Structure 1
Amino acid sequence: MHPKLTSDINERLMTLHLHLSQNQSTAVISAYAPTPDSDKEVKERFYSDLDNALASIPRDDKVILLDDFNTRIGHDHEIWSRTISKNGIGKANANGILLLTKCAQHGLIVTNTIFCQKDQLKTTLKHLRSEH
């Protein structure tokens, strides 16, 4: 019998375990984080569930975390040197700090800040009122 490949943790988290070879597996986690305006309890529950999902992955497995974290992680490379590079942009918000903390705890790297780009290419959204 094959192990269960996917697991719905809740309406915001799902995991997929890919067994690539006898000695190699990859865990893919799809996450949709609460917005910055969400209740504190909702955010705490989400990050607790994410922490449990990450902790349940065997150490030898590769991890890919696909996400919509509703965050700004900023560019504070000195503090988060093993999690983001010096190519980030802006200032971190509360959700960004939660994400960076989880990534640091589990040895994950936020890859969209690893690649050197012109500042105008580093963001994908523009705020309607402030146009930032």
Structure 2
Amino acid sequence: MTGKGRELADVMERRKVDILCVQETRWKGSKARSIGAGFKLFYYGVDSKRTGVGVVLKEEFVRNVLEVKRVSDRVMSLKLEIEGVMLNVVSGYAPQVGCELEEKERFWSELDEVMESIPTGERVVIGADFNGHVGEGYTGDEEVMGKFGVKERNLEGQMVVDFAKRMDMGVVNTYFQKREEHSDLQEWS
């Protein structure tokens, strides 16, 4: 593969990333394909102009994939067994600010369904572009977020916080300050 896929594989190899969720892939179809440098992309998309989600795995983990759920062009998950641990990797791409509320509710409903289908005791990692700002600080939301959010909280950010509370999860990227030098991966997620 050439182009963006190969570029992504090179960044993953350089940064030593084994599993990565990607959004806005803009590829039609429901496939798994090698993107080079020992990485494989599992993806789902219905429109080559917008949306699409995927999960990129280092080839050594591909044999550990037990299940792929392609729910929509905004939500998909992979279940892997790694050293006896069940790991569910969920990739999501929330509708942008300005999209219809119905479309946003459909996304959150699909994500809820995926989460509810995961048996208790299995691990879950969500890599998503939630298209929202959870805000700086954490007043009142300490149980799900740290103090390193950015900007003011918007409606979409509140939806993220509410989801984290419902699922007893954390908004992990708010627990640490981001360094500029790592922006090469952020532009891919």
**TM (normalized to structure 1)?**
0.81
Q: Give me the whole-angstrom Cα distance separating, in 2, the residues matched to 1:32 and 1:86.
A: 24
Partner of 2:82 in structure 1?
A: 20
**For residue 61 of structure 1, what is the amino acid of its counterpart?**
E
Q: Quickly say closer, same or farther: Cα 1:6–1:91, change in 2 above 3 A.
A: same
Partner of 2:56 in structure 1?
A: none
Number of positions where the alignment pairs a residue of Structure 1 with one of Structure 2: 118
The alignment's C-alpha RMSD in Å is 2.1
Structure 1 unaligned spans of 5+: 125-132
SS in 1 for 2:127: strand
- Given the alignment, which residue of 143, 152, 155 partners 1:82? 143
Q: Does 1:48 align with 2:113?
A: no
How far apart are 1:3 and its partner, in Å? 8.5
How far apart are 1:58 and its partner, in Å? 1.3
Partner of 2:6 in structure 1?
A: none
Determine which structure has the larger strand proportion and give its number: 2
Partner of 2:68 in structure 1?
A: 6
Q: Quickly say closer, same or farther: Cα 1:114–1:3, change in 2 above 3 A.
A: closer
Higher RCO, 1 vs 2 (CA within 8 Å, ≥6 residues apart): 1
Q: Does 1:94 align with 2:143?
A: no
Partner of 1:130 in structure 2?
A: none
Identity rate of aligned residues, in percent? 28
Q: Does 1:71 align with 2:132?
A: yes
Q: Give me the whole-angstrom Cα distance separating, in 2, the residues matched to 1:111 and 1:5.
A: 25
How far apart are 1:76 and its partner, in Å? 4.3
Q: Quickly say closer, same or farther: Cα 1:41–1:20, change in 2 above 3 A.
A: same
SS in 2 for 1:5: strand
